[in-house]
Amino acid sequence: MQRNASAHWEGGIKQGEGSVSTDSGVLQDRPYSYDTRFNGGKGTNPEELLGAAHAGCFSMALAKILDDQGHRADSIDTQAGVVLEPKGNGFGITRIHLDCTAEVPGLDAEGFETAANQAKDNCLISQVVSADISLDAHLAG
């Protein structure tokens, strides 16, 4: 299985602009630029796209682990904070922090934390990212 995405860029780094798209069409020519990446401008950026991918991957991995343990989640909400900061002569993604709150009937906090840490360590996005990945896992209720 292969999933495809593409990026188009025109111009120099600070004045240029580009767009990203996915073959599924969910993202179609979504704008990104130096301003959207470093100054909070309107549009997307690679770091927020990575965060969305990581939050989604983690949530699905956690759902599978919980299902395998006989605990079906009513809901799993995950936020991923991707930290981009100066590193060497440029920038690097140095940390990703996952914050997850879930409703899982019949599961205690210790069991949930164990499952969440397994998901953090084993979700496919975690496996390809070399940044430090931290996690706060909370059972709702």
Residues 17 and 54 in one domain: no
Residues 70-127 have pLDDT tens digits of: 999 999 999 999 999 998 998 899 999 999 999 999 999 999 999 999 999 999 999 9
Sheet holding 90-103, edge to edge: 75-87, 90-103, 132-139
* Cβ–Cβ < 8 Å for 109, 59: no
CATH number at residue 93: 3.30.300.20
Token pair 């709150």 in the structure block, residue? 101
Q: Which domain holds residue 33?
A: 5-38
Residue 102 is given by DSSP the state E
Residues 119 and 57 in one domain: yes
Give me the mean pLDDT over the 60-76 stretch.
98
Among 117, 124, 116, 126, CA closest to 93? 126
121: enclosing H helix or E strand: helix 109-122
